[in-house]
Chains A and B, each alone.
Chain A
Amino acid sequence: MGVESITEVMEKLERVMMKGRGRWVADFNESFRVYRVGDVTFDVFISGNTREKGFLISRFFSFFLNPNYEVGFFAVAAGQETEPNSRRLRKWILAVKSCMRKSEMKWAWLALIGSTISESFSKQVQEAGDPSVGIAYIDVDRRQIVSSDNYLGRQLKRYMRIW
């Protein structure tokens, strides 16, 4: 298997979130490309809800068991031009939070897709402390995912299987 480019993984990730296992995280149903929030541009933004629509039984269980939260999934290519660092990570999180406030979202996920991740940045991702934003870094070269150590981050890592 050859190494996939960041763009290819981004496309695959969007498909996974819209049609694949991403639906276990939330019912993501509307996807935007090149989505601008202030001066930050996300490559992918997918909005959704935690309540699965489904058919009879899944709809019934979802109605009684799942909270009715608006949620969002953001993905950004952390390539050479937007090389990830702590300042940039903070900027991305602030943009996500700003969009959450505007759209009344309760939870959000932020996926950063890039090449080989540094030890220090991996630690920053893991320690990202906001409980309402789950963060994951997808290392395209090593085919590994580093996620924030909160519930949303772990959930994202569990279901976001792109390889």
Chain B
Amino acid sequence: MVQRYAPLQLYYVFKSFFIMYAIQALIVLFMPLGLTAPIRYQILVLNGVVGAVLGWYLYKQWYHLDFSYDDLGFELRKGKSPPVTHEWKEFSQVSLVRDERGELVVRLHRDEGRVEIPASKLKLDPFPFRLEVMKLVAKTGS
């Protein structure tokens, strides 16, 4: 049975909103004061609305994670980039890694390098999820 995880990452939603809002704020900053001063509240509201819409679009394009897996393999897609697809049998070892931001990722090792599943970002409990991945790798591996 295919299991799918695509949680909303509030940090990245806010980050996308902030990027879009900051770009608009910069544009307004370089406009003549006489033009913007009489309608500053309207501009503020417009920036907020446009920031929210474009921020959401940016989040979906760049940051949103969509992860699905079954007994044979998994698929991980970040934003609109092409999905990364692998089979569990490609890997020989599984580890749990803490990155510099304190987030935990499940690292899959193989001869040609390694692949990482961002367990914390996917709102999965990394410790039991790592054990489940180990079972899947052991079951399908040679």
Residues of A bordering B, CB below 8 Å: 11, 14-15, 18-19, 28-34, 53
Contacts and interface: CB of A to CB of B under 8 A. Distances in A.
B52 interface: no
Contacts, number: 30
Contact of A11 (B99, B107, B127, B134): B127
Chain B: number of interface residues, binned into ranges? 10 to 19
Interface string B109-142: 0000000000000000001001100100000000
Interface string B86-117: 00000001111111101010010000000000
Contacts of B130: 33
Nearest to A28: B98
Given A11-B127, A14-B127, A15-B127, A29 B98 contact: yes
A156 to B, nearest CB: 19
A19 B96 CA distance: 12
B118 to A, nearest CB: 15
A53 B134 CA distance: 28
Interface of B: 93-100, 102, 104, 107, 127, 130-131, 134
B97 to A, nearest CB: 5
A33 B131 contact: yes
Contacts of B98: 18-19, 28-30
Nearest to B109: A32
A30 B96 contact: yes
B134 A34 contact: yes
A30 B95 contact: yes
Contacts of B102: 19
Nearest to B107: A30
Nearest first, the 4 closest Cβ-Cβ pairs linking A and B are: A31-B96, A29-B98, A32-B95, A30-B97
Given A11-B127, A14-B127, A15-B127, A29 B134 contact: no
A32 B100 contact: no
Contacts of B99: 29
A29 B97 contact: yes
Contacts of B104: 18-19
18 contacts: A11-B127, A14-B127, A15-B127, A18-B96, A18-B98, A18-B104, A19-B98, A19-B104, A29-B97, A29-B99, A30-B96, A30-B98, A31-B96, A32-B93, A32-B94, A33-B130, A33-B134, A53-B100
Nearest to A54: B100
B101 to A, nearest CB: 9
A54 to B, nearest CB: 8
Nearest to B93: A32
A149 B9 CA distance: 47
Nearest to A55: B100
Contacts of A33: 94, 130-131, 134
A30 B102 CA distance: 12
